[in-house]
Amino acid sequence: MFFEYQTDRLILKVIKPDEAAQVLDFYLRDKELFEKYEPDRIQDFYTVEKQKQIAAYEYNAAVKGTCVRFYVYRKENPGQIIGTICFHDIQRGVFSCCEIGYKFSSAFQHRGYALEALNKVTDLIFTEVGLHRIMAWALPDNAPSAKLLRRAGFCYEGISHDHLFLQGQWRDHAQYSLIR
């Protein structure tokens, strides 16, 4: 697997720590939006230094093949991150599966970028990584995410109760899957 791919409109790449300032800018642009759907941030998350540490960890995980986070850029502006898509909890052998997650800046939603990136990454997972099943989770009231997953071919499988601790409470999540 390579660390950079392109689609018609996008560049998807695994970044190195020296690009941490771009990552911090991405998170700060939509801090309130992203925090609604993710676990509480560690104390120094919104610093360049912490983003460098996270980028180094994620780069090493990608090299090992245990987790791969692609940052998404538009070809017309390759210096600005518009989203991220990550596959993690990669299990080989009899499970042959992973989980996938994504987030896109509000300014770039509803333009087909997330679907384009998701289609590219799911293809990579099946053809290059060789996995059989991809799982995704979304809050039951997150209609845009559910719509995106269905458009990408994922099937709704049900509710996982008290699946993730968000904003001080256990939250149910809808589970979706895509089978090779």
The span from the CA of 32 to the CA of 86, in Å, is: 20
**pLDDT of 1 higher than 80:** no
- CATH number for the domain including 108? 3.40.630.30
Q: Which of 13, 28, 125, 17 is nearest to 69 (CA)?
A: 13
**pLDDT of 89 higher than 90:** yes
> What proportion of the chain, given as a percentage, has pLDDT over 70?
99
Q: What is the pTM of this model?
A: 0.94
Are the beta carbons of 176 and 163 closer than 8 angstroms? no
The pLDDT tens digits of the residues spanning 105-157 come to 999 999 999 999 999 999 999 999 999 999 999 999 999 999 999 999 999 99
Q: Which of 72, 71, 102, 109 is nearest to 87 (CA)?
A: 102
Count of domains observed in the chain: 1
Residue 43: the pLDDT is 86
**pLDDT of 63 higher than 90:** yes
Domain housing 157: 4-179
> What proportion of the chain, given as a percentage, has pLDDT over 90?
92
Residue 40: the pLDDT is 87
The span from the CA of 171 to the CA of 66, in Å, is: 26
The pLDDT tens digits of the residues spanning 37-48 come to 888 888 899 999
**pLDDT of 179 higher than 90:** yes
Residue 178: the pLDDT is 98
